[in-house]
Amino acid sequence: MPKLSKSALFATLPPEPGVSPEPSAARIVVLDDDPTGTQTVHGIAVLTEWSVASLEAELRAAAPCFYILTNSRALPVGKACEINRQIGQNLAIAGRRAGCAFAVVSRGDSTLRGHYPQETDALAAALGGDFDGTLIIPAFLAGGRFTINDVHYVADGETLVPAGETEFARDRAFGYQASNLREWVVEKNAGRVAIETVASISIDDLRRGGSNAVAARLLALPRGGIAIVNAAARGDLAVLTQALAATGRAGKRYLFRTAADFVAAFARVAPRPMLDAGELRSAGTNFGGLLVAGSYVGKTSDQLEALFIGFPGIRRVEVDVGRLMTGELRAEDFVHLAGTIDDSLARGVSVALCTSRLLVAGRTSQENLAIGERVSSSLVQIVQALATRPAWLVAKGGITSSDVATRALGVRRALILGQALPGVPVWRTGAESRWPGLALVVFPGNVGDRGSLLQLVLGLAGPGMP
């Protein structure tokens, strides 16, 4: 499948609809398989636990939606499904107690990595299985992920690369071949779904037919069917939300597997300006800041290289993954590394705690997930051993961010403040956490260009900082 010019392809599309989203009449509950899915909203809570009491409290709150961080992309498929079942069952109880209708979004990766369809299958079953269909909506505009003519593209500058030809499709745990989303659904369902049964909401449906035409397409979907939704602009998702409002009035109920942009449209969360560095640094401290980088995608490695070249004053503390996997690195080594970081932070020197860049791979997807867990655990142990609260904290990579938030900092409920850069969300940690009120920057591994991490860290470090 050929790469395409973004400007040339977009020039062939009908004009973007100039309409506003219609918010969901039901409370929206987003199950996020890693914390990067909060990258399009602000003023919204995110939970890292899912007790019935916590879910009921959020369903009773005034906000249009809330997130539940499952971190399931880091887990074996059986554990991921069990978590989705638990949340579905608890949500059903909490919804009855709160007397609140809710819609459920399973937020996954905009480059198609994750436990699909296993998670949505488990979730649907736990919620009673009475969904009229599942909608697949992976568009993430700030990250350059567009679905056009049923093909999902990942932008590389002005070039659109079919998703199946990117490094993300070669992921050792979640790899795939298809770029056409209808074919991708068939591939991920291992032949249980025939391609002719996978429906499509096209750009023409959204832009020429409008919400009435899209609603008709949704109403024609066989019960329990699957439809992929094309989208290349916010207006496309706005039209979809209008159609969903109409189908909701007709009593239809859908399950969603989406990237981040759909949530903002469905909850009608308007964009806000990027957060500035002053909003991300802890007030009244001269300590250095901390970057924790565990992501192994090529984009992260490029960004780290640019950071170390452009900001030689940052101290690099590296975990050698090869030595970690052979057992040469032990708990006492992590304590020593933490002491090194503490010393730097106390002197006002910022630190980059990162893993070595040579990928250590297993033979199977399960082995690769286990390796990722061990690597992430080493970073968690080091952060847990720190005595000094950093002036700012950036976690690079979805799994790394989740583990730093939940395991190293003990976050159970956080508030999404907004974004530090397009597609880079920021959380304010809760009072129960180890460092209350800290702004945690959740920097996805696959977002930004080569200089984005450097730009962010230099802004956080501030002028004149080491």
Give the model confidence (pLDDT) of 408-419 as tens digits. Answer: 999 999 999 999
Average pLDDT over residues 241-253: 97
Tokens (6 digits) for 431: 């009072």
The lowest-confidence range among 302-316, 352-366, 380-394, 448-462 is 352-366
- For the cut 60, the answer to whether the pLDDT of residue 144 exceeds it is yes
The distance from CA 234 to its chain's CA centroid, rounded to whole angstroms, is: 18
- pLDDT bracket for residue 466 (50, 70, 90): very low
Assign 228 to helix, strand or coil. strand
Average pLDDT over residues 227-239: 98
Per the CB < 8 A criterion, the answer to whether 104 and 91 are in contact is yes
- pLDDT bracket for residue 36 (50, 70, 90): confident
- For the cut 60, the answer to whether the pLDDT of residue 463 exceeds it is no
- For the cut 90, the answer to whether the pLDDT of residue 87 exceeds it is yes
Percent of the chain with pLDDT over 90: 79
202-235 burial: b if 16+ Cβ within 10 Å, else e: bbebbbebebebbbebbeebeeebbbbbbbbbbb
Q: What is the DSSP string of 121-166?
A: HHHHHHTTS--SEEEEE--BTTTTEEEETTEEEEEETTEEEEGGGS
Task: Starting at the earlier edge strand, list the strands of the sheet with 145-148.
Answer: 4-5, 159-162, 151-156, 145-148
pLDDT value of residue 358: 66
Average pLDDT over residues 28-55: 95
Of 96, 75, 85, 90, whose CA–CA distance to 123 is shortest?
85
* Helices and strands in the chain: count of H runs, count of E runs: 16, 19
Query: pLDDT by residue (tens digit) across 97-134?
Result: 999 999 999 999 999 999 999 999 999 999 998 899 99
pLDDT value of residue 465: 47
Average pLDDT over residues 261-286: 90
Mean of per-residue pLDDT scores for the chain: 93
Cut 0.95: pTM above it: no
Q: What's the number of CA atoms in the CB half-sphere (13 Å) around residue 301?
A: 9
- pLDDT bracket for residue 61 (50, 70, 90): very high
Of 239, 301, 296, whose CA–CA distance to 265 is shortest?
239
Domains within the chain, CATH numbers bracketed: 4-266 (3.40.50.10840), 277-461 (3.40.980.20)
Rg, the chain, Cα only: 22
Query: pLDDT by residue (tens digit) across 188-212?
Result: 999 899 999 999 999 999 999 999 9
Assign 407 to helix, strand or coil. helix
pLDDT value of residue 361: 66
Query: pLDDT by residue (tens digit) across 316-341?
Result: 998 887 778 777 877 888 889 999 99
How far apart (Å, rounded) are the C-alpha atoms in residues 47 and 33?
12
Tokens (6 digits) for 61: 């709150």
